[in-house]
Amino acid sequence: MKTPLPHTPALPRYGDLIDVRLTELDDDGLAVARLDWPLHGETRRMRLIARGALPGDLARIHVESRVRDTVHGRLVELLEAAPDRIEPRCRHARYAPKTRYCGGCTLQALDYPGQLALKRQRVLKAFDVAGIAVPVGEVVPAPKTFGHRHKMELSFASDRRDGETRPTELGLHPPGLKWEVIDLQECPLTSATMSAFLPTLSAIFKRSGLLAWDPRDDQGFLRNLVIREGQRTSDKLIEILTTPRELVTAYGVEMSATEALDRLKIEILDSAHISKIEISSLLWTIHDAERGRPTRYHTSILHGRGSLTEELVVPSKSGDRTLSFDVSPRAFFQPHPLAAENLIRQIHRRLPPTCRTVLDLYCGTGTLALTIAPSAESVLGIEIVPEAIASAIANAQRNGLTHCRFIAGDVHAELSRLRTDEPEVLASVDAALLDPPRSGLSVQALDTLVAIRPPRMIYVSCKPESLGRDLRRLFAQGYRVDGEATPVDLFPQSHHVETVVTLVDTLAAGTHS
């Protein structure tokens, strides 16, 4: 809906109020409206992006800024609610004027069927913008929409306005405010027990008197708190990340950082025991970052062991099989493990009946490679991060998957090397699994992949816009989509969506027109 506005001699500016019907989501999950803005007898077409609003809302928007023909604002009054709007479960997701709210769950005020519909629309729009015709199936829903997160990364902040330092807060950043955090009282994305424990954790760090690190002056000690929870195991891991400072002011006196962490450990473990929470690992990681050299992490175990165990139930030729993963602090693991099992089943359905070799590009810690290994004679994974490859190798050994091989290196460079050094390996590839970063395939990686010409490719995308661009490029090289694109929801309460697509080589099949 393009909204006509009264004649005005000026473009929107800070403080203006605009009543408008929001119509869609942008790539960041924020509601958008199209404006026809009268200006000196002509109509100026503009785009309005509103925090706190949903598609379908008729809302009064307070203008905060304008960049050329894009207006940014926030909801100040809901004039007519979208038909699928609901009351958010989390208090920090309930938008109110002049109130800091959490920007992590952009769709929590939308009922779940409405969330799935918007995710499918996002995929359809991405393909339309790319100029390609691909059928899109219904979104595979997540088995849990709350209490599902494997990992939550919280930030510390110490408010230093007016020359006064206020107690350190632990939480998540409000939208657009990277120096502040909301002092979390709950987070329903975590388990109910951990959500209830968050205020206790926050109080512990406040009592310590330790200051949060502030990048503007490189002062402070506390950086982040990472919580990992097993979905199929009872493991819970808490990691405290700090700067490398050796002396700190804590509990009212100067002491060594080690002494401060020892006291924090006692408080956290005692409080967890009272709350009937068993913490399997408590870690202290020094985040050592200096401009001009790679960031280094030094991890000490304060309690338990240095990692977390998670399990995934995956299909194989002989039926479902449970795989066990040792997840280290720096390792990536699927944020919603139970929904990831849906994604894995979509991949399995797309594998050819007989797989000699599956090539897993951007394999990360090998999660997808290992879950498809029971259905293939061999799996070859490539990933640029050496630590991720080390984790993949360890987890392959842990599960007795001896036919998996992992290579640390750039995808383009390693594929080029394999073409020269091991052409017989690439000749045996029956399917290539692509799970690139949000930016999609680089031009070099795509060109090298096309030169290898795997007969089948299974593309797993976390950004529909990148997927649309890459599919257009692959279509130009003789590939086409087999079946339909299937969106899979791994991120309930947000606009993010995974999409799985199968491509086949029509040149090799002799069907390319």
Give the residue numbers marked as catalytic.
Answer: 462
Tokens (6 digits) for 23: 């119509």
Beta-bridged to residue 237, according to DSSP, are 228, 281
Q: Which of 403, 395, 406 is nearest to 325 (CA)?
A: 395
Give burial (CB, 10 Å; 0-12/13-18/19+) of 226.
middle
What is the three-class DSSP state of 425? helix
Helices and strands of the chain, counted as H and E runs: 11, 26
Residue owning tokens 């003789």: 478
Dihedral sign (CA 31, 343, 152, 291): negative
Dihedral sign (CA 362, 367, 368, 371): positive
Residue 49, C-beta contacts closer than 8 angstroms, at least 6 positions apart: 26, 30, 31, 32, 70, 71, 72, 73
**Integer Cα distance of 101 and 97 in angstroms:** 10
Amino acid in the structure at residue 417 = R
Amino acid in the structure at residue 178 = K
CA distances from residue 105 to 154, 187, 216, 423, 475 in whole angstroms, order as listed: 14, 10, 27, 47, 35
**Integer Cα distance of 167 and 207 in angstroms:** 8
- Residue 279 phi, psi dihedral angles, 5° rounding: -90, 115
**Integer Cα distance of 350 and 345 in angstroms:** 9
Query: Taking a C-beta distance cutoff of 8 angstroms, is the pair 37, 43 a contact?
Result: yes
Residues found in the chain:
513
Query: Taking a C-beta distance cutoff of 8 angstroms, is the pair 259, 218 a contact?
Result: no
Q: Which of 279, 116, 264 is nearest to 193 (CA)?
A: 279
**Integer Cα distance of 190 and 149 in angstroms:** 5
Amino acid in the structure at residue 125 = K
Beta-bridged to residue 284, according to DSSP, are 240, 300
Helices (H), 253-353: 257-274, 337-350
